[in-house]
Structure 1
């Protein structure tokens, strides 16, 4: 465990990068792939889709859990890595990322409720089928609202992380700029989904920014794994 005692070492950076890549894989599966397969373009209803593929739905929850556990490790490791650059900004970045994880963890309650209702573990005999279906759609909508909330915290984290990357001089400046500029895509996505869903321009802008931040995050993680910080 002594490797964790030297936050500026290449081994420390490599471990942080591997956890970051774990987040990318598990998060991509749980946040993007599973919902798209279960609900994308389908009209059977939230509970009906879950009841038809309960194991697949649970695999998405498992992906969420793996992602969040990796997030906790990455949050702590990035804090100590960048603390010599700016203790205040490094702490603020860690708190913002941890707040995001806390919101994600809260969203699991809605996932658990959906699973119990869809599989009959919570039959709700006092409600009609239509009422249960409406409740399922409401729980899914509340889960989606959680996404819009955690994206706000993640935007703040990426702004601060990008600033730390730029200030440190340990990484290519392009990565820092990509995190700051592209990270705004998460905020734009929340605004577009919640407040201005009919504004097509926001939809185009968020896609462009999210592509930038995805490439920047992957580049940052790979740089940690392959090169590590260029600390003098």
Structure 2
């Protein structure tokens, strides 16, 4: 294959990966916003387990759609991590692999947070548990909501480090605008500050939606 044609094919391949990555990023953002603003923000009442349980039971399908959406988001995020590796590997393969490792740990912890969202329905819809005190069941369901928020906060610590690394690679690439890399590093720093604030000041963790926004 002539060198010019080879370069063109390689350029087209990179462009294709970049387009798919952009589509995945947009999908992740939309699902994340819908999950927070439309579902959790409308159904979860901070500090009120009984009202939260009532709202979730009245909109159980909506809650389940939110859980399913979170799983789709995770699938898209895994694919996006691969695309970041393909696009940034030429800059520095070892540092790109480091970013991938942080991304996969973040996604693993975020998967646990999704399980907590699913677990919210167990004490509310399980017939075998109906003999228990409703207040206890509501408390268990609300505890799962809070556990989701806390696990998500931990996931964002690893994601924040990933953003710092990816931002660095973007700035060094020469084929991505440096401004994008700088903005990603600022975002990563904000994620780290937010998540460590939840750890160092526990009352913040009582707000289930305080840190429920990724990417």
Please classify the TM superposition score into its range, dividing by the shorter chain length: 0.7 to 0.9
Which residue matches 2:162? 157
In structure 1, how many angstroms separate the alpha carbons of the residues matched to 2:109 and 2:203?
26
Query: Which residue of the partner structure matches residue 67 of structure 1?
Result: 73
Please report how far the alpha carbon of residue 6 of structure 1 lies from its aligned counterpart in structure 2 after TM superposition: 5.1
Q: How big is the shift at 1:40?
A: 4.5
1:72 to 1:147, Cα distance in 2 relative to 1, 3 A:
same
SS at 2:175 equivalent: coil
Q: 2:157, 2:191 within 8 Å by CA — same for their partners in 1?
A: yes
From 23, 27, 30, the counterpart of 1:22: 27
Distance 1:186 1:136, change over 3 A: same
Match of 1:130 among 128, 135, 140: 135
Structure 1 unaligned regions, length at least 5: 200-205, 218-232
Change (3 A) 1:55 1:190: same
Q: TM-score, normalization: structure 1?
A: 0.77
SS at match of 1:85: coil
Q: What is the CA-CA distance between 1:42 and the residue it aligns to?
A: 8.1
Superposition pairs of residues 167-178 of structure 1, within 5 angstroms = 167-178=172-183
- Judged with a 3 Å threshold, the aligned counterparts in structure 2 of structure 1 residues 84 and 61 are, in CA distance, closer, same or farther, namely same
Unaligned runs of 5+ in 2: 1-8, 205-209
In 1, Cα distance between equivalents of 2:122 and 2:102: 31
Segments of 4+ moved more than 4 angstroms? 5-8
Cα distance, 1:104–1:24 mapped onto 2, change above 3 Å: same
| Greater displacement, 72-81 / 23-32 | 23-32
**Alignment of 1:121 onto 2:135:** no
2:179 pairs with 1:180: no
| In 2: Cα distance, 1:122 partner to 1:144 partner | 27
Q: Is the 8 A contact 1:47 1:117 kept in 2?
A: no
Normalised TM-score (structure 2): 0.82
